[in-house]
Amino acid sequence: MLLKGTQFPLLKRSGHLGCQMANDKVQKESMDHQTKDHFPRLLPWLIVLLLIVASLVLYWPVLNHEFVDFDDPSYVTHNPHVRAGITPR
């Protein structure tokens, strides 16, 4: 006989304490196995979450800094090659 919701064949309950204990042991082992399987699947997500939080904490102060444009005029806005645009050459 199969207990509904499990894949383990169980002895028919006849009121014997030994059968009940065997059934309880099989069910407990099944639950322990399922619990152990969740951690390896969650570990990569926990690492990703930790990296995201660490990056946000590390770079949060940058939001209050002003834009620095020391070399933009000479290399970008006043550069004749950049001002000419994209050419086939």
pTM, two decimals, is 0.40
Q: What angle do CA 28, 30, 35 make, to 5 degrees?
A: 95
Cβ count within 10 A of residue 18:
9
Tallying the residues shown for the chain, one arrives at: 89
Yes or no: say if 20 and 13 are a contact pair by the CB < 8 Å rule.
yes
For residue 17, is it within any domain? no
Q: Which domain holds residue 47?
A: 28-84
In a domain, 18, yes or no: no
CA-based nearest residue to 14, from 31, 27, 1:
1
Phi, psi of 2 (to 5 degrees): -105, 135
- Using DSSP, state whether 43 is helix, strand or coil: helix
The answer as to whether 12 is a domain residue is no
Q: For the chain, how many structural domains are there in total?
A: 1
Residue 8's pLDDT is 53
Taking only the tens of pLDDT, the chain with its 89 residues reads: 555 555 555 544 445 555 566 666 666 666 555 656 777 889 999 999 999 999 999 999 999 998 887 888 888 888 888 888 888 87
In a domain, 55, yes or no: yes
> 15 in a domain, yes or no?
no
* 59 in a structural domain: yes
Does a structural domain hold residue 51?
A: yes
Q: Is residue 65 part of a domain?
A: yes
